[in-house]
Amino acid sequence: MLLVDEIIQNEDGTVTGKYTVRGDEYFLKGHFPNNPIVPGVILCEMAAQSSCLLMADKVKGKVTLFTGMNNVKFKNPVRVGDTVEFTCASIRSIGPFCFMKAEGRNNGKIAMSGEFSFALVDKEKIQ
């Protein structure tokens, strides 16, 4: 389930991910009838996928597992035709754990913000 159209590495060490909502996505069905809005948990997944570029040098031979979310807030809805842009930064890494923060904007307005954690686990350990 790829929920990023484009990710770029910025000169300041952050990354920017973008996704344009087409309208045929499975997660819009029933959320909400006649008023499709991207669910908050999907916005979190988009932000998490965008932030994975920050771990690119650490993931060889690993599986990236999404382990937590903190201080997540939803401010403005994302609808069909909108392009949400995520700016993500690394907070810290401790052993196999990586901590990121992300902010998603839609038409210049904050749609969501939060902090995310990931575990980088050897592939053979989760088979």
Q: How far are the Cα atoms of 73, 88, 111 from residue 100, in angstroms, in the given order?
A: 15, 7, 17
Active-site position among 18, 31, 58, 79: 31
Provide the pairing of β-strand 6-9 with 15-20: antiparallel
In the residue annotation, 31 being an active-site residue is answered as: yes
Structural contact between residues 47 and 85, judged by C-beta atoms closer than 8 angstroms: no
Residues known to be catalytic: 31
